[in-house]
A and B are shown apart, each in its own frame.
Chain A
Amino acid sequence: MTPGEPLVRWDWIFSHLGDVGQRLGEHLLLTGIAIGIGFVLSLCLAQLVRSWSWLYGPITWITGVLYTIPSLALFAFLIPITGLSRLTAEIGLVSYTLLIMTRNIVAGLQAVPADVRESAIGMGYTDRQLLWRIEMPLALPVILAGVRVATTTTIGLTTVTALIGQGGLGYFILEGILRFFSTPLLVGAFLSIALAVAVDSALVLYQRLVTPWAR
């Protein structure tokens, strides 16, 4: 951004490959924990809806409000309680995954044909077996579609956690802004987008492998 300075200084990138690897690792870890915890919580919420369908309204309402709150505001809101910590980052990131994943798990389970369910019950499947052996596998394409959206958006949001000192690729973006140095800025922006595309492609591949009947 300084006149005369090239937009990308490749020598900076090559001398900071270690940093890039570290920040990439942090980014993946922050995202992975959020998706993991978010998925388990969404499964629990979907189970609640499966047992008590009237809960669907309140659950989508609450997770919808969480979804609407800007990430920087949510992190800032949590700082007085949980400090500038990874816990703050993860509470924020997890709360953004709940709406999409819960809705997709519920929609996937509801789309299982009634006669399939009836056949399974007729064959003596218990409620738990019915869920894990019949309903979940059949709902898998819809569930994975939700996981894909949640993962892509979480990778983007994780860049913001750099503002509360949690590293990740947002660290380079902030460094670039604070030092008026376009190279780290572009490295951070480019890598976070590339990471989202790469992880999404990997999930598509995974989906094709585990749901051969849906091809």
Chain B
Amino acid sequence: MHSTGFLGLNGPRAPDPMTFAAAVLAWIADPAHWVGFDGIPTRVGEHLTMSVTALALSLAIALPVGLALGHTGKGGAVAINIANVGRALPSLALIALALPVAFGLGLGLGFWPTMFALVPLGLPPIITNTYVALRSIDPDLIEAARGMGMREWDLLRRVEIPVAAPVIIAGVRNAAVAIVATATLGAIVASGGLGRYIVDGLARQDQARLFVGAVLVALLAIGAELALALFERLVVPVGIRHAARAPDTWSAPR
């Protein structure tokens, strides 16, 4: 398994491209890979279930926090720095740290350790973007709304959230991509999802399985990104589409 030599150029030899392509196609065409607990539909479903659950939990925690901080303008340093901290947290380390926690709570391997890693990963981009989005709203707009007699809740619901929506959704997009990517690593702690094909493919030296898993994971991550971009187009009014662009709150590749 381990290669030697600088840049590993003496490592295992690459398979012949045509033979490899045939092996991949045969793997995909095999009906056995489309049914059962290790079938492609099951694994895609597991990956989506884990990702959507984690994103929903992240949103449920991060959105109220971000809105409260942004609306009141308090805790700005925390709200902005949390994104930097989140970026420095490696996904594999998060999964590793979640494992003893899940075990300590008697929740075992698989789903829960992965959840404990995915949810904290989704929080920073949503909190930071929500805070920044609310803080960067034109103060005249807020004043006008108050002048019209809006209370805090109306102000938030009818002015601040709609105007801040593009930047908030950009944060959700960053969180979603990070969660989909890290759900792949969950396979190391025995969760389901498409990471299984990669981890099992590595363990069994089954390169066709490995390759199909990689392609499916990549498609799912890009799909998540595109789906939320589409969502943004659908919910953001045309009038403010170009008013607010997402700030440079990079989220890390995972």
Contact = CB atoms under 8 A, between A and B. Distances in A.
B222 A65 contact: yes
B100 A153 contact: no
A193 interface: yes
Interface stretch (B26-34, B67-75, B138-146, B179-187): B179-187
Interface in A176-214: 176-177, 182, 185-186, 188-189, 192-193, 196-197, 200
B243 interface: no
B93 A159 contact: yes
Given A84-B8, A165-B2, A185-B99, A72 B195 contact: yes
B247 interface: no
Nearest to A184: B96
Contact of B218 (A77, A153, A197): A77
Interface string B147-183: 0000000000000000000000000000001001110
Interface string A51-82: 00000000000000101111111111101111
B181 A192 contact: no
A201 B164 CA distance: 33
A191 B221 CA distance: 28
Interface string B194-222: 01001101100001001101110110011
Contact of B217 (A73, A79, A149): A73
Contacts of B77: none
A105 B217 CA distance: 30
Contacts of B94: 189
Contact of B210 (A76, A176, A189): A76
Binding site of B, secondary structure by majority: helix, strand, loop or mixed?
A: helix
Given A76-B211, A85-B3, A185-B100, A70 B254 contact: yes
B238 interface: no
A200 B96 contact: no
Contact of B222 (A69, A72, A75): A69
Of the listed residues B6, B9, B214, the one surrounded by the most CB atoms of chain A closer than 10 A to its CB is: B214
A188 B9 CA distance: 27
A72 B95 CA distance: 14
Of the listed residues A67, A73, A155, A182, the one surrounded by the most CB atoms of chain B closer than 10 A to its CB is: A73
Interface in A151-169: 152-153, 155-157, 159-160, 162-166
A83 interface: yes
A197 B7 CA distance: 27
A155 B253 CA distance: 11
B13 interface: yes
A13 interface: no
B15 A80 contact: yes
Contacts of B181: 69-73
Interface stretch (A39-47, A86-94, A115-123, A126-134): A86-94
B234 interface: no
A72 B198 contact: yes
A193 B99 contact: no
Contacts of A186: 96-97, 100
Contact of B7 (A69, A75, A90, A189): A90
B229 to A, nearest CB: 11
Given A82-B14, A84-B3, 13 more contacts: A70-B221, A72-B214, A76-B213, A76-B217, A80-B15, A80-B211, A84-B12, A85-B9, A165-B1, A170-B92, A173-B96, A174-B188, A182-B99
5 tightest A-B contacts by CB?
A85-B8, A156-B90, A70-B181, A189-B93, A85-B11
